[in-house]
Amino acid sequence: MKMNKAKIIAFYLPQFHPIPENDEWWGKGFTEWTNVGKAKPLFRGHYQPRVPADLGYYDLRLPEVREAQAELARKAGVDAFCYWHYWFGNGKQLLETIMQDVVRLQKPDFPFCLGWANHSWEKKNWSNDVSRLNRETLIKQEYPGDEDIVLHFKTMLPIFKDKRYYKVHGKLLFYIYDVEELPNPSQFFDSWQQLAIEHNLPGFYFVANCTNKTLLHNTPYTLCDGLHLNLKASNFLGKGTKWRRKWRRRFSYLFPFPTNILSYKKAIKKWEDEAFKQNNIYPSIIPNWDHSPRSGISGSIIYGSTPELFAKHIKRILNLIKNKKEEDKIIFLQSWNEWAEGNYMEPDLKFGNGYINALKECLKG
């Protein structure tokens, strides 16, 4: 493991290949590229649609695409991909075949870990052709109990045993998107730690996504080994209760133009916090954010991002963590390839390798 620089863990979306469920819900051949390709500019200077450059409109079922992604990530200085992992309970998964192929083929030779995206899929989340007020659930996240906790672990066991699996403090990094939704977080954590011992694994380092700084010292966050303090969510909807933010978001759906917009120059200032100096609280670096390909005019949009401003953002975050323990100099990169969120590092026609080069140069410094 590299010890003299920050460790960059990049979130990785596997939804760039068709699956039967998406064919049924959205039409034959639907992938994330479907939303990316039909996006339109919603105001003057709005950078849409985004067009990929070096890798093109790739299909992740092709091993050579995954190899090319890993090579670009190495160039950027990324230490590991955090593959989004969808386990809905009772053995039901989606988009799992990409990770399975990475393990089966033992390629690319690039570190990885899993991020459990433990949330239901609602119809409005994936297409701007659907009303934002639509509450139809495509597939529900469930927590059936003890047997499912064990089944979940055993199904993932070949992944956990892979020599490339990324470790923090000698333990397997496992990221949880919504730890508050777990019915009994202690039960889940304790069960998996015991199962790890039984299967000769070093144990887990559980990191939870946290979007509200005031919750850092509350249960269940205090049960986790580390916390990713993700300040992106508060940029558009301000402070306040989850209930208040939800209703402000719904109110924005009624306007015929985007209202949740923010300049990247302002956003990067909001993404800094003194809490990042604590050893087990980890920041993000975010190249951009634009949810309009999925959400249309109700989407949250950051505009005006450039590789130069991204570099400024990276340097500020690096400065905040410079005195932390080496093992805890972890930064989550949001994201490697979330194209429909305008949230990616891969080359596009406008900036080429600009964001990759910006990260590489900042880490050298």
Enter the tokens of residue 236: 């558009």
Give residue-wise pLDDT tens across range 116-167: 999 999 887 666 666 556 678 999 999 999 999 999 999 999 999 999 999 9
Residue (of 271, 267, 283) closest to 322 by Cα position: 283
Amino acid 128: pLDDT: 62
DSSP-assigned letter for residue 171: E
Task: Tell me the pTM.
Answer: 0.94
CB 291 within 8 A of CB 297: no
| Three-class secondary structure of residue 159 per DSSP | helix
Residue 314 has a CB neighbour count (10 Å cut-off) of: 25
The 10s digit of each residue's pLDDT in 174-224 is 999 999 999 999 999 999 999 999 999 999 999 999 999 999 999 999 999
Nearest to 108 by CA among 85, 81, 77, 84: 81
- CA 65/CA 71 separation, integer angstroms: 10
Q: Please check whether residue 337 is in contact with residue 345, taking contact to mean a CB–CB distance below 8 angstroms.
A: yes
What mean pLDDT is predicted for residues 229-250? 62
Structural domains of the chain sorted by starting position, each given as residue range(s) with its CATH number in brackets: 7-364 (3.20.20.80)
Tell me which H or E stretch contains 100.
helix 97-105
**What radius of gyration do the chain's Cα atoms show?**
20
pLDDT at 129: 63
User: How confident is the model over 332-365, as pLDDT tens digits?
Assistant: 999 999 999 999 999 999 999 999 999 999 999 7
